[in-house]
Structure 1
Amino acid sequence: MEVARRLFVEQGYAGTSVEQIAAQAGVSGRTVFAGFTAKINLLKQAVDTAIVGDSDDVPLAMRSAMQRVHQAATAHEAFERLADAYAEIVQRAYGIYTVVHRAADADPEIAELERLLEAQRLTGAGQLAATLADRLGVADPAAVAYMQDVLWTVGSPLQYGLLVHGRGWTIERYRDWTARALAALVPPAH
């Protein structure tokens, strides 16, 4: 999967063939197709692997970094842990996520993949918002939805790219900004 991810990031989706991936991985194209059936499935798996950091079949929400967020005793502790988790995840996922984003305009299947990825991120942000709302004593559904939107935005690999790759921030600065942005997550009173 690392070969596929690297080639997609270096050459883009359209510029990468299954045959190139197979050759660099030291297997036949037939072997790759047998495992993934289509190039887009390779891309999806490359994204999933980049997000979680390995090919184990364990959802992100069940990973230790995210479990630590849910188990935090205070909202502040949860924000700090989440900033650590986000920094790790977006740094790993940025390159391949950008491939999906750029290719989505030209390919309807990739556009659908991008919608799926964003829906998954939004669902994850909703789960985190519910946990944090509980820690903060926030019960208003509109306030929890606001928190979900902020978490979804702050945790975007594309947001990371704007700050780190676009503005030259270090990963440490990004992580610290993320912690501060999350600490400001308490929704405004209506």
Structure 2
Amino acid sequence: MTSDSGVGDHYARRRQRTEARIVTAATELFTNQGYAATSLREVAQRAGVSERSLYQHFATKVVLFQRVVEVGIVGDVGAEPMTERPWSRAAVTAPTLADRVEAFADGVAEMTGRLEPLMAVNAEVENSEPAVRESAGHWRRATLDYLYAFWHGAARDGLLPPDTDVEWLAATTAVLSAAESRLLISRTFGWDAERYRQWLVRTWLELAARP
């Protein structure tokens, strides 16, 4: 029983390492030359795997691109969901609103930094691939749902002024923390990740404190 478990764990780790190499290679190629110009053969060559191995992980280029975006959001190919990551847990459990916002800004700055180079490619693919358009909508709704939970939790814990419009806060901060907004800010102001993070913290805290 133990031996079988060990073999299974080894296989799972090897499969995860292969997937990580494929996703890294695909991210580089999609970012540098676009979606349409990138073939799965090129991805396999860049990743150092056979085409057969690549197809065992990703049956189509659309499925691979969706995984690239998902890994950009979460941070790696591990199974731990974003809501269980340390920064995400701190964002809903820290004792003060400032601490929660700082934790969330840390996570968002890292996440949007990974996603920013993919935004132009994502716009290209959304226009032509219904499955990608659907998954993009899913992630946007998930962001909004997370922020509803974030602000409702803060209100429940007494960290917001009375009569705060939590729905408005969630909708507004969902737009401000989107990767598309990060891309616009970078192109407009040339801010680095730390400047963007500081802006998020200040903006969110000032929005939360408004009458």
TM-score exceeds 0.5? yes
Match of 1:51 among 73, 80, 89: 73
Any idea what the Cα deviations from partners look like across 1:25-80, whole Å, max 9, x if unmatched? Answer: 11122221221211111111111111222111111111001111112111122122
User: What displacement does 1:139 show?
Assistant: 7.6
Aligned-partner Cα distance in 2 for 1:9–1:127: 33
Which residue does 2:200 correspond to in 1? 178
Deviation track 1:107-153 (CA, whole Å, cap 9, x = no partner) reads 3232222212212222222222222222424686x822112112211
TM-score by length of 2: 0.80
What does 1:1-190 align with in structure 2 at a 5 Å threshold? Answer: 1-135=23-157, 136-137=159-160, 143-186=165-208
Any conservation in 1 of the 2:74–2:82 contact (CA below 8 Å)?
yes
1:52 and 1:60 in contact (8 A); partners too: yes
Q: Quick one: percent identity of the two aligned structures?
A: 27
SS of 1:185 mapped into structure 2: helix
Return 5+ residue gaps in structure 2 as ranges: 1-22
Return the alpha-carbon distance in structure 2 between the equivalents of residues 139 and 39 of structure 1: 50
In 2, Cα distance between equivalents of 1:96 and 1:138: 38
Q: Residue 14 of structure 1: SS of its match in structure 2? A: coil
Larger radius of gyration: 2
Q: Distance in 1 between matches of 2:117 and 2:151?
A: 26
Aligned-CA RMSD value: 2.0
Counterpart secondary structure, 1:8: helix
Q: Quick check: 1:146–1:187 contact (8 Å CA) kept in 2?
A: no
SS, match of residue 65 in structure 1: helix
TM-score scaled by structure 1?
0.89
Pairwise CA distance, 1:187: 7.3
SS of aligned partner of 2:87: helix
Task: Output the amino acid matched with 1:126.
Answer: Y
Q: Which runs of 5+ in 1 are unaligned?
A: none
For the residues of structure 2 that align with 1:62 and 1:130, how far apart are their CA atoms?
18
